[in-house]
Structure 1
Amino acid sequence: MAPLNIVIMAAGKGTRMKSALPKVLHKLAGRSLLGHVLASTETLGAARRIVITGHGAEQVEAAVAGAPAIAFVRQMPQLGTGHAVQQAVPALEGDDGITLVLNGDVPLIRPETAARLVEACAGERLALLTIELADPSGYGRIVRDGEAVKAIVEHKDATPEQRRIREGYTGMMAAPTGALKRWLSQLKNDNAQGEFYLTDVVAMAVADGVPVLGIAAPDETEVLGVNSPVQLADLERRFQRQQAIALMDGHGVRIADPARFDVRGTLECGSDVEIDVNCVFEGTVRLGDGVRIGANCVIRNADIAAGARIHEFSHIDGEKAGGASVGEGALIGPFARLRPGARLGAEVHIGNFVEVKNSTLAKGAKANHLAYLGDATVGERVNYGAGSITANYDGANKHRTEIGADVHVGSNCVLIAPVTIGAGATIGGGSTITKTVEPGTLAVARGKQVAISGWVRPVKGGSK
């Protein structure tokens, strides 16, 4: 099979972004613009993916260096789109193959659309991805003779009549690799910008008798580029709405307001899931059947089992995929925080201002108010009192606390790890526990209460 090269142009500075960060590294839905393009091309079977860098080249290359089948070439200085692709010529494999040219700042190109371009090219034709717009200002215009494409005229070089053409060139094409190399070697910069335009290869293809096809993109959103923070924000909302619609249509998810919903990774949902406003899902998140997510929650890399309820303003962060989990029918929040390694069983209750880190809570355990559980193993039906903490860090090392089933921990207790609380034990409120508590016993460790009669409280300005 003839090799497929994919060339991604990512050399531009992005002046209108008004940022020190290279434009293609700005993020949309939690992933860089260039990262989106690379992800869309992973299934196309390319022999090589060549990223053309320039402004911030080292930063851009470092950000995506781990992607498979990737190579880098640099465009220094930047003298136009044709000049950019010229830099990639030595890296192109197989004159009998196909070269697909994409833009690193057009992040939402779909794999299916890119594949259509490659298929239309078939190693014999020049295939251009086009889009019809109500206002194509800034786009090169597709000049046709009937159905045949004869040229692309850049907006700045177009006549008033040509600017009335609504079909624009998206900047993406697929060409026979051998012919593309020949055309690139013939480019000239005698235009208004003094640049080498990649679009000039269209006229060369026509002159060579190579058919030029205009392949219409199915959707405007997937061919929109990012040149400013305003355009980035607009594309973010378009993308988020697409994801919301896919979840609602495909899985029946009830999303209170798609305009206040963000997925920055992957969100998998069962049936009858409800998501309130202003929720953010990052990394890999799985929501089981009947899960309800309250307003203003942030959930990252977590598995939430069927029937669980995440109340408002809760923050769950597993750090890596599957790094936190919530069992069936559990109740979390409001204002709860689950950190990496939090493993909650069925029907666990974690209430307001409770933090759980690297701890396992068995079925029915409860920590309802103002508490901390770190590096702990908590048995079934434990009741963990308000204001209680596990003191798991000694200044150098972390230690675990073991709490057996049916333990009752009173309010404002400190369990200093390593320590074990046996099943069925009770810890009196205000206790500081440093030693093992045997099963079924009551442990109280606090200073004796003293009452002083006739004591007078100091007053301001009094004698010392």
Structure 2
Amino acid sequence: MALDIVIMAAGKGTRMKSSLPKVLHKLAGRSLLQHVLETAASLGADRIITITGHGAEQVEAAVQAPHLQFVRQMPQLGTGHAVQQAAPSLHADGTTLILNGDVPLIRAETARALVEACGGERLALLTIELADATGYGRIVRDGEAVRAIVEHKDATPAQRAIREVYTGMMAVPTARLRQWLAQLRCDNAQGEYYLTDIVAMAVADGVPVVAAQPAAEVEVLGVNSPVQLAELERLHQRTLAVRHMDAGVRLADPARFDVRGTLTCGADVEIDVNCVFEGEVTLADNVRIGANCVIRNARIGAGTVIHPFTHIDGEALGATVGERALIGPFARLRPGAELGDEVHIGNFVEVKNSTLARGAKANHLAYLGDATVGERVNYGAGSITANYDGANKHRTTIGADVHVGSNCVLVAPVTLGNGATIGGGSTITKDVPAGSLAVARGKQMVLDGWTRPVKQKKA
């Protein structure tokens, strides 16, 4: 039996006060709509049909999922009208699951349970009881049987007192859905076509209307304003924090912890406050992350310490740090940084597209770009690889056991042989043989009896 998923994503989101379409605002590093699409894809749908409208081109270019197609709702005349646009793309039979693009945290288990409640022959609604049901359609029952959904604006005072509400998500036999969509009318307070009117049609046709509930309220919370987005972000991050702590991660403060992607942790990982993890991040056993670090697309080896205020951004290339390394504070690792075991990268050191072998050290105020650094190298303060000639990047190769003094410039392409020593303040433009000392700086001059200029006093 075919499963089609329809995702409502056409709204403007006026209360967001933003030129960005509402469903593209981000929660935990991904757009609201992308969260829903990932859940939909996990259900094995035959088709995922996303209904766009406001900012349609921008929305369609920004998201992706297997078997995804788009239909547009122009103009936006209500939820029923939106699904009418998708109807021609649905399979002739099977089940249609309807989700909302601005309700990002619906779990796959809940969506699957809703489809199972439908069973291809019932109208299944996802409902929940709320302390404050303002703005939601109310579930009207006759005993246990669901008889109708009444929109908040059309509800009587008695109906508004009902706490069980419709979440905007349902599963429907597709053949029935097509039939009911053709019968929708817009004779209501808003002059819109309400999808919820199909409940009364199902009752009239003798089709059972059943309800399923999510495990937690957070699954059905939508986003209509920046305040709601921020509140949902904190609820989601708290859930992630608890999940990591249950797995053994020690968080100094779960309220000051953000995952905007995927974070995988080994045993005995410790994370201090105000740390942000983006993209794909892996922390092996016994890693310690200091306060105020930002780590994106990186793999950190066992026993490594990332000191406070370190910024690691692997971007598409990724960044890797070996075991028992010491990084920071105030260090920056950029794409292509590959650090071996026991490497030390200190304060205000930047590494980009470079490999550092076991035990190499750059402890402060240095830059390594497009470099290959051997074992046990000591790279002095203030030293840089001049890797860019204004048009092309060039590589610097530093052999094992090289000592680079402070305030040196290594002008690539250049190779320093094993065991070479570079005198402080040198600008190196030619290869240095193994075991050699290279000094390239101006001769020091000393002028005896020299007097500093004195500022002239005005008369």
Supply the RMSD in Å over aligned alpha carbons: 1.1
Matches within 5 A, 1:213-362: 213-249=210-246, 251-320=247-316, 323-362=318-357
1:269-318 superposed Cα distances (whole Å, 9 cap, x missing partner): 00000001110000000000000000010000000000000000000011
The answer to whether the aligner puts 1:74 opposite 2:69 as a matched pair is: no
1:60 alignment counterpart: 59
1-structure distance, mates of 2:212, 2:219? 14
CA distance in 2, matches of 1:7, 1:271: 41
Q: SS at the partner of 1:371?
A: strand
Cα distance in 2 for residues equivalent to 1:164 and 1:84 = 29
Secondary structure, aligned partner of 2:65: coil
Question: Aligned partners of 1:77 and 1:441: how far apart in 2?
Answer: 76
Q: Which residue does the alignment assign to 2:393? A: 398
Distance in 2 (CA, whole Å) between partners of 1:211 and 1:439 is: 84
SS in 1 for 2:255: helix
TM superposition shift of 1:215: 0.5
CA distance in 2, matches of 1:229, 1:392: 44
For 1:153-172, list aligned pairs within 5 A: 153-172=150-169
Secondary structure at 1:370 match in 2? strand
Distance, in Å, in 1 between the alignment partners of 2:201 and 2:261 is 42
Q: Which amino acid aligns with 2:178?
A: K
Q: Distance in 2 between matches of 1:398 and 1:414?
A: 15
Q: Distance in 2 between matches of 1:216 and 1:432?
A: 70
Alpha-carbon distance, 1:88 to partner:
0.8
Deviations 1:170-213 (A, max 9, x none): 00000000101111111111111111111010010001000000
Q: Give CA deviations for 1:230-265 in whole Å, capped at 9, x if unaligned.
A: 00000101111111111110x200011111111111
Q: Which amino acid aligns with 1:19?
A: S
What one-letter code is carried by the residue in structure 1 that aligns with 2:85?
A: Q
Structure 1 residue 138: Cα displacement: 0.8
Match of 1:131 among 128, 131, 136: 128
Matched, 1:202 2:210: no
> For the residues of structure 2 that align with 1:162 and 1:218, how far apart are their CA atoms?
25
Q: 1-side partners of 2:336 and 2:86: how far apart?
A: 46
Alignment-derived partner of residue 188 in structure 1: 185
Deviation at 1:460, TM superposition (A): 3.2
CA contact (8 A) 1:324 1:338 kept: yes
2:87 aligned residue: 89
Alpha-carbon distance in 1 for matches of 2:172, 2:321: 51
Could you tell me which residue of structure 1 aligns to residue 104 of structure 2?
A: 107
Letter in 2 for 1:182: Q
**Letter of the 2:387 counterpart:** N
Aligned to 1:368: 363
Q: Quick one: distance in 1 between partners of 2:391 and 2:243?
A: 48
Aligned partners of 1:225, 1:47: CA distance in 2, in Å? 26
Which residue type is aligned with residue 353 of structure 2? N
Alignment partner for residue 415 of structure 1, among 410, 426, 447? Answer: 410
Query: Structure 1 residue 445: deviation in Å?
Result: 0.9
Please tell me the residue identity of whatever aligns with 2:273: V
C-alpha displacement at 1:462, in angstroms? 7.6
Percent identical residues: 79
TM score, norm. by length of structure 1? 0.97
Unpaired stretches in structure 2, ≥5 consecutive residues: none
Q: Quote the offset at 1:108 in angstroms.
A: 0.6
Q: Distance in 2 between matches of 1:63 and 1:327?
A: 35
Match of residue 41 from structure 1: 40
Alignment check: 8 A CA contact 1:280 1:299 kept: yes
Q: Over residues 386-431 of structure 1, what are the superposed CA-to-partner deviations in whole Å (9 max), with x where a residue is unaligned?
A: 0001111111111111111111111001111111111111111111
Structure 1 CA distance, aligned partners of 2:56 and 2:455?
Answer: 66
**Aligned partners of 1:308, 1:461: CA distance in 2, in Å?**
59
Amino acid at match of 1:17: M
Q: CA deviation at 1:139?
A: 0.8
State how many pairs are aligned: 458
Please state how far the C-alpha of 1:47 moved relative to its aligned partner. Answer: 1.4
The answer as to whether partners of 1:4 and 1:48 remain within 8 angstroms in 2 is: yes
Partner amino acid for 1:447?
G
Q: Which amino acid aligns with 2:70?
A: F
What is residue 149 of structure 2 aligned with on the other side?
152
Q: 5 Å matches for 1:412-451?
A: 412-451=407-446
The whole-number CA distance in structure 2 between the counterparts of 1:228 and 1:397 is: 47
One-letter amino acid matched to 2:350: E
* Secondary structure of the corresponding residue to residue 354 of structure 1: strand
**SS where residue 78 of structure 1 aligns?**
coil
Q: Deviations over 1:148-180 (max 9, x none)?
A: 111111111111111111111000000000101
Q: CA deviation at 1:372?
A: 0.4
Matches of 2:454 and 2:432, distance apart in 1: 44
**Cα distance in 1 for residues equivalent to 2:213 and 2:143:** 15
2:453 corresponding residue in structure 1:
458
CA–CA distance in structure 1, aligned partners of residues 62 and 346 of structure 2: 39
1:67 offset after TM fit, Å?
2.3
Deviations 1:40-73 (A, max 9, x none): 0112121111111111111111112x42211111
In the other structure, the counterpart of 2:21 is 22
Contact 1:121/1:174 (<8 A) preserved: yes
Quick one: which amino acid aligns to residue 68 of structure 1?
P
Q: Is the 8 A contact 1:283 1:320 kept in 2?
A: no
Question: Structure 1: where are the runs of 5+ without partners?
Answer: none
